[in-house]
Structure 1
Amino acid sequence: MVSKLASVSMASMLLLAGCSGTTSSKESSSEKKDNKSKAEISWLNILHTASPPTDTVLNQIEKKTNTEIKFSWIPDASKEERINTALASDSLADIVTLTLLDNSSVRNALKSGMFWNVEDYLDEFPNLKAIPKDIRTSASIEGKLYGVPFQKDLARNGIVIRKDWLDKLGLSLPKTTEELMEVAKAFTEKDPDGNGKKDTTGFMDRSDLKYGAFKTLSSYFGTPNVWKVDSKGNFVAEFETDGYIETMDYMKELYNKGFINKDFAVTAKTDQQQNFSQGKAGIYIGALFDGKNLKSMANGIQDNMELALVNNVTSASNSKQSIWSDGNGVGGLLAFPRSEVKDEKELKRILKFVNDLLDPEVYKLMTYGMEGTHYKITGDGAYEIINQDLWQQEVQPFAASRPKESGFHLKDPDPLKAQGDELIAENAKHAVFNPAVPLESTTYTTQGSELQKIITDATYQYILGEIKLEDFKKAVKNWNEQGGKTIKEEYKKAYKAVK
C-alpha cells in the first residue's frame, strides 16, 4: 500500500508545490469542510524523528476524526529555513505548524493577516474552549490569537538527586537552597559512593544558563522569569533583580568550594548526563522527566543507583514555591492560512478536527498507539509499550503533533517517570510566567540574542571569579545602553496597548 504520508525527501517539493492554493487534488469547498462528510485536510507539519510514520496509526486517527489527512513533513533540523520559504512563497496548507514564534518572518506573517484570528471561534468547541485564558494570552500577538496554541507543560524543571547517596550519608531530601548546598557539600566531601576516593561532586551541570541549573535555582531565589512588570508598567530584566545576583553568588560558592563540576561552563548536555549516570555527581537540575533517562543510562554502570525527584525547594529570600515557565506553556501554533482556508465554514471544520485531536482516545493514539499492537495496560493501570521498535516507527513521529502535551491522566509504568509527571503537573500551580511572551519589541527581535550574550558572558565571568559585582553591573549598564533600554520601552508600550 502506498503511504498517504509524504516522505521527508519529498517535503520540499510538497512545500513549494503540493500545498499551493489549487484545488485540483482536493474535494470541493463544501465537501471538504462539511461537518458531516469526511474532510480532506492538508497539514504542513514538523517531523522530530528520522522518518515519517506509516499509515497504521494515521488510519485510526482519520477514523476517529472523520478526516483524510495529507501531511507535508519538514525535518526539525531545517524547520526555520523551510517555514520561512513557505511563508514567503505562500506555499502553505490548511494547517501550518508554527513553533518558532520568536522568528521575525513568522511574527510578521501572523501580524500581516495571512492567518485567521481564531479567538472568537474557540469557545464553539468543547476541547478548544478548555484552553486556559493565560495560554491564549501568551500565544497571542498584539492581542490577537492567530491559531490554536500547542499546550505544553507549564513548568518541567526540578532536581534529580541520588537517593541512595542521601540514605548512605543519613541525609534527607533538601527543601531549601541551604539544605541543597549542604547535600552538595556532603556528596563532594564524604565519599557517597564508598570507593575510598574523593572523586565525586555535588552538582553535575552544563553550559546552559536556561535549561541547566542556573535558571531553576534562580526561581528558588524569587527571580522573575526573564522580565517583571512593576506597578507603573515598567519592565525590569531578571538580571537587574536581587534574585539573579543571589543565584550567581550561590553558583559562585558551589564553584569555589568544588561542589560542582569545574568545567560546567563548557560542558555539553550529553556529557553532563553521561557523567551523572557514571556516578561522578549526585545532583542534576533539569527537566524532571530526565530522571528516567538518567536511570536508564546508568544500567550496567551504576546498577545500584536510586534517584529521587524534588520540585519544592525554597530559599531564605523566597519562601514561596516558584518555578519558571518555558514559553508560558505555549509551544507554538496550529495556524490556518486564509489562502487555503477560504471562509468561516472551512475554518470551523478544521477547528473541529483540531478539537477532536484533543479527545483522550486520539491523544492515546498519538502517544501510545493501538492497544495490543503498540502497548498494553498493566494491572495497576499503566500504559506499557510492548514493541519499542514498532512504536518508534508508527507512533513516536506523531508525538510533536499533539495539540496538548499532557493532562490526560495516563500512567507511565516507570515509577520515576510517573513521579516526574506528577511533579510537573504540580509545578503548574507554582509556575512563573514571562510577561513579555505575547508582546512585540522590534529591538528585541533584531538585537535580543546579541544583547543577551553581554549578560550571559558577564554571568559566567562573575561565577568563575573573573569579574567582580561592579563589573557585572557595568555589563548590565552596557546592555541597557546598547538597546536594552529601548526594549523595555517597547515592551511597556505594547503591554499598555493590550491591557
Structure 2
Amino acid sequence: MSKRRMKKGTVLSVTAALSLVTVLAACSSAKEETAKETDKPAASGTAAATTQASTAPAKRGSISVAIYDRGQVPKEEGSYTDNRWTKWINQNGPADVKFVTIPRNESQQKYSILFASGEAPDLVLEFDNAFINTLWSQKQLLPINDLIDKHSTEYKKILEKFPAIKKLATKPDGKMYEFAKVTKPEVLGTMVIRKDWLDKLNLKIPETVEELYQVADAFANKDPDGNGKKDTFGINLSQFASYYVDAMFQNEMFIVENGELIRQFDRIKPAYEFKKKLFDNGIVDKDFLSDKNGQKAEQDFANGKLGIYLAYTSVVSKNFDTLKKSTPDAVIVPMAFPKSQYGQFGPDFNPPLALTASVNAKAKDPQAVMQYVDFMVKPSTVEVFTNGIENVNYKKDATGCPQPIDAAKNKTEMGYINDYKMFMPTYNLQQCTIGGRSPQSTNAVDQEWIKIAKEMDKLYLDPARPHPGFTHSKFRPSLDKDLNTIFNDGWNNMNDIMAKSVVSGNSYTVDQGVKDVKDAWDKAGGKKLEDWYKNWYKENKSSWIFMDELYKMKFD
C-alpha cells in the first residue's frame, strides 16, 4: 500500500469534530432538496410505474435501508417505515425493502449501536462522511466496485459520466465504498448593489476593492435616497458578509501557493484593514457584530437603506419582494466580487457531488442492494420522488413542467419525502424554476428576480472567479481529533481576534491582531497541521478533487 494512499481519506467539514469511535457532529447538506410525493401507492397508476414493475428481476431480494427520522410524517400518512412512498417503492422496485429509522440528530449514536449489535441496515444513508470514514476503518463497509461492474446499469452510467465520483468515493485501499448524489452546482452567496443609486450618483459598478470602498462611501454619505438624511449604509458586514469580504482577499486558512498547500497569514491584514476602514468611517452599521443572524442587515436592505448587500441568495430573494414594495423604484443587480491584489474570487456554492450512501459489509444480498440503488437513481423514479404521481399530485403545463393539483395536499403527502432520495441524481431534471420562481409567472417582481438569478449563475459559477479555498469545505481531507481541534481553534481565534481589531479604534490595531493570531496558532500547535497539509497535498494533488474541477464539471 503506497504512502500516498495511506494519507488519502474521505472529506470532512471544517466544523465537524471526529472522535475515534463515533462522530457526534450532525452534518447537514449546505442545502437538502425539497420534493413532492404521491397520493396512494400506485399499483398500476402510471405508465412509468408499470414499466418499472415489469422490469423487476425474476429473483426478488430482501434488504434493509436506513431512513432519517425527522419527526415530520403526519399521523394520517403513517410512519417513516410505512407510508405511501415506502409502499410505492416495494410495489414498483426490484426488492422487498424494510426501512430502518435513524434519528436525524443522533444518527451516529444510533448507527454505532446498530453496527455493534449486528442489526445495521444493508444500505447506510448518512451525510457525515467523517463518520462513514470511521465505519470504513472498522471494516464495517463493503467495497462497491465489483457490485457496480457486475450488477449495475443505471448507476454505472452516472459513474461513467462523472468520473470525479470515483476519486471522491475511493478510500486509501484503492476501492470505492460510497454512492454519490449528483446535482447541478448551486449558487449560495451573492453580492447585489443598488443600480438606481449608482445612476443617481453617476457611479459605475465597482471592479476593484478600492472602487468598492469609494462606492460604499458614497452610498453612506451622499444621500443616495434623496431624503436629506444620513440614514443609509454603504455595505453590510454582519453574519456571512464578513467572510465574503475575506473571499475577495483570498483570506482562507489554507491556500495553494507556489505549488504547495500552505497556511497563509499575509492576506489577513489587507482584508481586515478594509473592514476597519469601512467601520471607522461610518460606512457600515456600527452594531454589525451583534447582528449575528443578519436580521438587521436584512431589514436595512428590505427598507431601502442598504446600498451593497452581501448575503445568501435565498435571503436576498426573500427580501427583494419586500424591497420592491417599500421602494418600488429600487433596482438591484448582482455584481462579481471585486478584484484585490490577490486575484478575483467568488462566493460559496453547493458543489455538484455529495457522498451519501454505503453498503453494510454484512449485507446478506449485496446484489439486491445494487438493484435497489439502480432503481432509485433511474430518471423515472427520480421524477416520481421529485414531483409525485402525474394526475394525482400534478399535471404538466404547456412547457412540460409539473404544476401541483393541490399544493396543500401535496405538502401533507410529500413534506417528508426528501430523505428517501438522498442519493438520487437531480442534475438531469427539467429546470422548471429559476431562482425559485416560475418563468411562467405573470408577476413583474418574479420576472425581475429571474433575470437577477440568471446573472448570478453567470457571475458565480465561473471558474475564472472561483471560491478561494483549495477545494470545497465538504471535500477537505479528514483530520484526526487533535489536528481537527487545531484547525477549528485557528479559524475561531482568527475571526474573534480580528473582529476586535475592527471595532477597537486605535486601542487594538490590525497589526496587533495579526500578531496575536500567529501567536495563538503557534501556541496551539499549528506548525504540526501545516506540515500535515503540506505532505498531504504533495502526495494527493494528482488524485483529489480540487476547486477548479468542481467548476468545470459538465451536465449536458
Normalising by the residue count of structure 1, what TM-score does the alignment of the two structures yield?
Answer: 0.74
**CA distances 1:179-222 after superposition (whole Å, capped 9, x unpaired):** 43344233322334444432221223433xxxx12333333334
Aligned to 1:146: 177
CA distance in 2: counterparts of 1:241 and 1:213, whole angstroms:
20
Query: Counterpart of 1:6?
Result: none
Shift of 1:455: 1.6
Q: Tell me if 1:342 matches 2:342.
A: no
Displacement after TM superposition at 1:267 (Å): 1.5
Instruction: Classify 1:241/1:482 alpha carbon distance in 2 versus 1 (closer, same or farther; 3 Å).
Output: closer
Per the TM alignment, residue 168 of structure 1 is displaced from its structure 2 partner at its CA by 4.9
Tell me if the contact between 1:204 and 1:275 (Cα under 8 Å) persists in the aligned partners: no
Distance, in Å, in 2 between the alignment partners of 1:285 and 1:139 is: 34
Secondary structure of 2:66's counterpart equals strand
1:100-179 matched pairs, under 5 angstroms: 100-102=128-130, 105-118=131-144, 125-130=155-160, 132-138=162-168, 140-142=170-172, 145-151=176-182, 153=185, 156-166=188-198, 168-179=200-211
Give the residue type in structure 2 aligned to 1:45: I
Which secondary structure does the structure 1 equivalent of 2:129 belong to?
A: coil
Structure 2: distance between partners of 1:347 and 1:121: 9
What is the distance in 1 between the residues matched to 2:139 and 2:87?
34
* C-alpha displacement of 1:315: 0.7
Question: What is the CA distance between 1:120 and its match in structure 2?
Answer: 6.0
Partner of 1:408: 429
Aligned to 1:16: none
Given residue 167 of structure 2, which amino acid in structure 1 is its aligned partner? Answer: T
Q: Is the 8 A contact 1:289 1:420 kept in 2?
A: no
Q: Take 2:404 and 2:307, find their aligned partners in 1: how far apart are those partners? A: 30
Residues 1:62 and 1:379: Cα distance change in structure 2 (over 3 Å): same
The 8 Å contact of residues 256 and 470 in structure 2, kept in 1 or not, is answered as: no
What is the deviation of 1:410? Answer: 0.6
Counterpart residue number, 1:353: 375
Tell me the secondary structure at the aligned position of residue 192 of structure 2: strand
How many Å apart are 1:176 and its aligned residue? Answer: 3.7
* Residues 219 and 324, structure 1, Cα contact 8 Å, conserved in 2: no
Name 2:121's counterpart in structure 1. 93
Q: Report the AA paired with residue 213 of structure 2.
A: M
Q: Identity percentage over the alignment? A: 20
- Which residue pairs with 1:398 in the alignment? 417
Counterparts of 1:174 and 1:247, CA distance in 2: 17
Residue aligning to 1:236: 262
* 2:235 paired with 1:203: yes
**Which of 369, 372, 385 is the equivalent residue of 2:388?**
369
| Contact 2:187 2:313 (8 Å CA) reproduced | no
Q: Secondary structure at the match of 2:65?
A: strand
Structure 2 residue corresponding to 1:420, chosen from 453, 466, 484? 453
Quick one: distance in 2 between partners of 1:320 and 1:76?
Answer: 39
Structure 1: 5+ residue stretches without partners: 1-32
> Is the contact made by 2:63 and 2:369 (CA closer than 8 Å) also made in structure 1?
no
1:449 aligned counterpart, secondary structure:
helix
Structure-2 residue corresponding to 1:29 = none
Q: Which residue of 2 aligns with 1:291?
A: 316
| Separation in 2, partners of 1:391, 1:459 | 48
Q: Which residue of 1 aligns with 2:67?
A: 45
Is the CA contact 1:52–1:73 (under 8 Å) kept in the aligned structure 2?
Answer: no
Give the number of the structure with larger relative contact order, counting CA–CA contacts within 8 Å between residues 6 or more apart: 2
- Aligned residue for 2:498, secondary structure, equals helix
Q: CA deviation at 1:464?
A: 2.6
Q: Deviations over 1:277-298 (max 9, x none)?
A: 3334233323334332223455
- 1:365–1:186: structure 2 CA closer, same or farther, 3 Å change rule? farther
C-alpha distance in 2, partners of 1:194/1:375? 48
Change (3 A) 1:172 1:268: same
Whether the 8 Å contact between 1:168 and 1:192 is mirrored in structure 2 is: yes
Deviation, 1:236, is 1.4
Contact 1:139 1:332 in 2 (8 A): yes
- TM-fit CA distance, 1:115: 1.6
CA-CA distance at 1:147 after TM superposition: 0.9
RMSD over aligned Cα atoms: 3.9
- Counterpart residue type for residue 289 of structure 2: A
Match of 2:487 among 416, 425, 448: 448
Q: Report how many aligned residue pairs link the two structures.
A: 451
Q: For the structure 1 residues 90 and 155, does the alpha-carbon distance in structure 2 shift closer, same or farther, using more than 3 Å as the test?
A: farther
Amino acid across the alignment from 2:158: L
Q: Is the contact made by 2:147 and 2:367 (CA closer than 8 Å) also made in structure 1?
A: no
- 1:255 is displaced (CA, Å) by 1.9
Deviation at 1:461, TM superposition (A): 1.9
Structure 1 Cα separation of the partners of residues 145 and 399 of structure 2: 40
Q: Which runs of 5+ in 2 are unaligned?
A: 1-54, 78-82, 439-445, 543-556
Where does residue 298 of structure 2 map in the other structure?
273
Counterpart amino acid of residue 228 in structure 1: I
Paired with 2:110 and 2:450, the residues of 1 have a C-alpha distance of 34
Cα deviation, residue 398, structure 1: 3.2
| Residue number in structure 2 paired with 1:261 | 285
2:276 is aligned with 1:249:
no
Identify if the C-alpha distance between structure 1 residues 295 and 230 changes in structure 2 by more than 3 Å, giving closer, same or farther: closer
Contact 2:148–2:370 at 8 Å: present in 1 too? no
Which residue type is aligned with residue 94 of structure 1? Answer: D
- 8 Å Cα contact 2:198-2:205 kept in structure 1: yes
Counterpart Cα distance in 2 of 1:288 and 1:495: 33
Confirm or deny that 1:213 pairs with 2:232: no
Tell me the CA shift for residue 129 of structure 1: 1.3
Report matched runs for 1:302-317 at 5 Å.
306-310=331-335, 312-317=336-341
Code of the aligned partner of 2:315:
D
TM-superposed deviation, 1:338:
1.5
Within 1, Cα distance between the matches of 2:235 and 2:205?
A: 15
Q: CA deviation at 1:373?
A: 5.0
| 2:141–2:177 Cα contact (<8 Å) kept | yes
Q: Distance in 1 between matches of 2:346 and 2:217?
A: 24
Shift of 1:475: 1.6
CA contact (8 A) 1:57 1:365 kept: no
Shift of 1:89: 5.0
